[in-house]
Structure 1
Amino acid sequence: MSYPYQTNPTIVPAADFNARADAEALRKAMKGLGTDEKAIIQVLAKKSNMQRQEIANQFKALYGKDLIKDLKGELSGRFEDLVLACVTPLPQFYAKELHDAMSGVGTDEACLVEILATSSNHYINVIRSTYKAMYGKDLERELGGETSGHFRRLLVSLCQGRRDENPVVNPGICAEDARALLKAGEKKWGTDESTFNAILATRSFPHLHQLMVDYERLSGHSLEKAIKKEFSGDIEEGLLAIVKSAADRSKFFAERLHKAMAGFGTKDRTLIRIIVTRSEVDLGDIKAEFHRAYGKTLEDFISGDTSGDYKKMLLAMVQ
C-alpha cells in the first residue's frame, strides 16, 4: 500500500529568474514617497524561497541595505507580515513561529504541534540549531518550560527528530502496534499514555497510516475516535494532529486553513504560515481537498476573509 501523500506545489522556481532585475524593481518600488505594493507582489509572490534569498543578497550587494529592514520600514499590517514571511529563510521563519508561539501570555499549542508533527527529521534538527542561533536558547528546554504533562512529553519526543522515515511498511509490526494501542487505551482501566507517545511520535507516517487501518479492523472504529475518547485537552489535540497528518496530510492542512478563516475573525498567523510553507510543497493538493471538504475554493475563502494587498498577494501565491 502506498502512502497517500503527493507533491503538488503552487509555486515553483521562476524560469525567467533575474535576481538583479528583481532587486532593482524592489528598490524602485520603495524609493521616494509612497510604496508600490503592486510591484512588490509581482516580484515576490511567485518566486521560490531560494530565489527570494538570492534577490535579498543581490539587494544588499547593489545598495548596501538589508531587504527585510527596508520592507519593514515601508509596509505595515498583515501585508507586511506576509511579505516578511516570504523573504525570510524557512528555517528562520519556523524558528520564529515556534518562539512567538511560546512568547507572551498563553501558548499557541496548535502551532507547536503543526510544525513539529509535520516536519522531517532533518528539518526539525535544522530548526533546533536555527532556534539556538537566533534566541540563544535550547528549543527542547523552551518547549518543556511552556507546556506540561503528557503534552510536554509528546513535544519533547517530536523535537528529537527521530521519527522512522523508512517508506517500507512491515504489516506485522503495524498490526502489533495497533494491538498495543488498543490494549493501552480502550481495553485498559485508565490510559497508558506512554505507549501512545512512543508509537505515534516515532513510527513512520506510512506505518501509522497502515496502523490506523489495522486499528479500525480490530476495534470497529477509527483510531481518531479512540483518541478523542481516551484523551482531552492539549495532548488530545497533539495526538490527533499526528494521526490526521498521517492519514491525509492535505486534509490536515485544509482543516487547519478552514479553522483559521471560519467563524469570527481570521487567524492570520496560521493562514500566512501554511500558505508560505506549503506553497512549494503540496498546496495544490491542499486546495483540492479544501474544495472537496468545504464546498468552496480556498481562493473564495481568502477573498471573503482578507482584503487589500494582503489578499492580492495571498491569492497570487495559491493560484
Structure 2
Amino acid sequence: MSYYPPNQPPYGGYAQQGPPQGPPSGPPPQGYHQPPYPTQQYGAPPQGHYPPPPQGHYPPQQGHYPPPQQGHYGAPPQGSPYGAPSPQPPAGYHAPSPQPPYGQAPHGYAPPQNQPPPGGPGFPQGPPPVGYGAPPPGGAFPPQAVPSTPSLGYIPGQVAPGEFRPQAEQLRKAMKGFGTDEKALIAVLARLDPLQMAAVRDAYSKHLGRDLYKDVKSETGGYFGDGLLAVVEGPLMHDVESVHLAIDGAGTKEWLLNDILLGRSNADMNAIRTAYEMRYKRSLSKDVENDLSFKTSDLFATVIRAARHEESMPINPQVIEADVRSLQGKKNITETCAIFARASNAELRAISQTFQSRYNTSLEKHIEKEYSGHMEDALLVMLRSATDPAMRDAILLDECMRGMGTKDERLVIRVVRVHWDRNHKEMVKRAYQHRFGKNLVDRVRGETSGDYGRLMVALLE
C-alpha cells in the first residue's frame, strides 16, 4: 500500500506575505550571538508547480498523521516496494504531470486534484528574487525550467507568524537561577519547526534582551548541548556551521560534507553558499576543494555551483539514454560526476530506472562495484536523495548505531536534520522499520541515555 500525503500549504498554511528578500545589507552576522539576519515575517516559500513523482510503498502506520509539510528533502521518492525492481519509466520520459498513484491514503488525506500553473496563486510573480535561492549568475537554468524556491528555514529573516513570547519565557525560566530544567528545554525546543524556532529566538531577544544560543550554550554541555544548539541555530545556519566543522582543523569529515551539500536543490545550495561566505568571508567552493583530493574535489566544486537541472525541466529521453550508456561504459569518473552533479532528481530517477531495465542490475549496485571510498559514498547519497530520501536517511541513521559503540556526533546531526520536516521524519521511521525490522525510536532510545537520549527521542517522536 503506497502512501504520501497530498500537497497542502506547509506548516499549517502560513500565508505568503511577499517574495523572499535578497541578502541583507550591512555587516555580516557575528557568529551565533545574535539573530543571524534581520528578522522579517514571511510565509513559507511557495511550492513548485511540478507534481510529485510516484511514491515508494511504505506500509502506513496506525492512527492519524501530522499535516503534510514542505521539507528540504525534495519530492517524495519514486519506486516499487523494496526488494522488487523499479518499474520501467514511461516511454518518452515526459515530465510526470499525471497524478502519482497514491493508493489508499491514511484517513483524512486525498490526492491533490489540481496543480496551480506557474505564476498562479501561491507563486511569486515576475522574475525570481535575487539573492538567496535565486539562480546563479550567467543563466545556468534551461529556458523551460522554473527555479526552485528555498526550503523552509533557508530564507534569512523568515519567521512564523504569531506570538512566541510564552515559549521564550518558558525557555528563560528553565535556565534562570540555580540549575537547569533540561526536561523543560526539551519540551519546548523539540516541538518547533524551522520558522517557529526562528520566531522563538527572535522573541527571546526582543522581549528578554538575551541571546538564546548563548544561554543554552552556557547552561548545557555534551551531546545534549550539541543537539539543543543545533535546533536553536535552525537549518540554514546549522548547515553552514556543519560545513565549517567538516573542513576545520586537521583532517576532513567527508561524511558531513556529504550530508550537508549533496542532493540539495539549487535554491538551498545558493542559500548555504551565500550564508557561509557572509559568515566566514571566504569562498565555500575553495574551502571545500582545498580539503578534498582527486575527483571528489571536482565533484563538490560542481555541486556547490548550484547548476543542477531544475525539477520543472522536461526530461529528454535521448539524454537519459546517453547518460545510462556513459555510466555503464568504461569507467570514467569525470563523466559520472558530471552526470550526477547536473541531473535533477527526476532525471536521476529516470536514469536509475533505465539502467535497471537495460542491464538487469541496479545503478546503486553498479556504483558499489565500480567505486570505493568517499567517491562511492558521495554518489550513493546523491542517487538515494533522488530515488528514496527516506531510505537514504534511514541508512545514514543506522550507520550511526551499527557495530561497537555509537557515533554520537553523527547521530545528533542526522536526527536534528530529519526532525525539521515532520512528514519526512514519519517516512524515515517507516523506511527504517522496513529495511532493518526495528523501530527507529526504540533503537535510538537503546543507544543513548540521560538528557541526550531524551532529546534524541523527543526529536524523532
Q: Shared topology, TM-score over 0.5?
A: yes
Superposed, 1:158-177 pairs within 5 Å as 158-167=303-312, 168-177=314-323
**Which digits, 9 at most, give the CA deviation of each residue in 1:44-81, with x for residues without a partner?**
11011221221111111222211110111111111111
**Which digits, 9 at most, give the CA deviation of each residue in 1:279-304, with x for residues without a partner?**
23211101100011111111111111
The structure with higher relative contact order (CA 8 Å, sep 6+) is 1
CA contact (8 A) 1:10 1:318 kept: no
Superposed, 1:1-319 pairs within 5 Å as 2-4=53-55, 18-167=163-312, 168-183=314-329, 188=330, 191-281=331-421, 282-319=424-461
Q: Measured at CA, do residues 155 and 74 of structure 1 come closer, stay the same or move farther in structure 2, by a change above 3 Å?
A: same
Q: What is the distance in 1 between the residues matched to 2:193 and 2:353?
A: 37
Q: What is the distance in 2 between the residues matched to 1:249 and 1:171?
A: 24
Q: Measured at CA, do residues 100 and 34 of structure 1 come closer, stay the same or move farther in structure 2, by a change above 3 Å?
A: same
Q: What is the distance in 2 between the residues matched to 1:10 and 1:203?
A: 22
Is the partner of 2:179 in helix, strand or coil?
Answer: coil
Q: What is the distance in 2 between the residues matched to 1:220 and 1:267?
A: 36
Task: Pick the structure with more helix per residue.
Answer: 1
Q: What is the distance in 2 between the residues matched to 1:310 and 1:109?
A: 25
Residue 170 of structure 1 deviates from its aligned partner by 3.2
Q: TM-score when scaled to structure 2?
A: 0.64
Query: What's the RMSD between the two structures over aligned residues?
Result: 2.4
**Which digits, 9 at most, give the CA deviation of each residue in 1:155-206, with x for residues without a partner?**
11111111112244333332221122222xxxx2xx2212101111111111
CA contact (8 A) 1:205 1:246 kept: yes
The one-letter amino acid paired with 1:120 is S
Q: What is the distance in 2 between the residues matched to 1:105 and 1:8?
A: 42
Q: What is the distance in 2 between the residues matched to 1:275 and 1:3?
A: 26
Q: What is the distance in 2 between the residues matched to 1:263 and 1:8?
A: 35
Q: What is the distance in 1 between the residues matched to 2:260 and 2:358?
A: 31
Q: What is the distance in 2 between the residues matched to 1:26 and 1:209?
A: 44
Is the partner of 2:250 in helix, strand or coil?
Answer: coil
Q: What is the distance in 2 between the residues matched to 1:4 and 1:110?
A: 27
The one-letter amino acid paired with 2:327 is L
Q: What is the distance in 2 between the residues matched to 1:157 and 1:247?
A: 21
Gaps of at least 5 residues in structure 1 are none
Is the partner of 1:33 in helix, strand or coil?
Answer: coil
Is the partner of 1:118 in helix, strand or coil?
Answer: coil
CA contact (8 A) 2:235 2:420 kept: no
CA contact (8 A) 1:178 1:211 kept: yes
Q: TM-score when scaled to structure 1?
A: 0.91
Residue 3 of structure 1 deviates from its aligned partner by 4.8
Gaps of at least 5 residues in structure 2 are 1-51, 58-66, 72-151, 154-159
Q: What is the distance in 2 between the residues matched to 1:5 and 1:44?
A: 31
Q: What is the distance in 2 between the residues matched to 1:134 and 1:54?
A: 21
Residue 125 of structure 1 deviates from its aligned partner by 0.8
Residue 8 of structure 1 deviates from its aligned partner by 5.5
Indicate the percent of aligned positions where both proteins have the same amino acid: 33
Q: What is the distance in 2 between the residues matched to 1:146 and 1:37?
A: 37
Structure 1, 278-287 or 153-162: larger mean CA deviation: 278-287
The one-letter amino acid paired with 2:438 is K
CA contact (8 A) 1:275 1:314 kept: yes
CA contact (8 A) 1:3 1:209 kept: no
Q: Measured at CA, do residues 198 and 295 of structure 1 come closer, stay the same or move farther in structure 2, by a change above 3 Å?
A: same
Is the partner of 2:262 in helix, strand or coil?
Answer: helix
CA contact (8 A) 1:260 1:270 kept: yes
The one-letter amino acid paired with 2:436 is Y
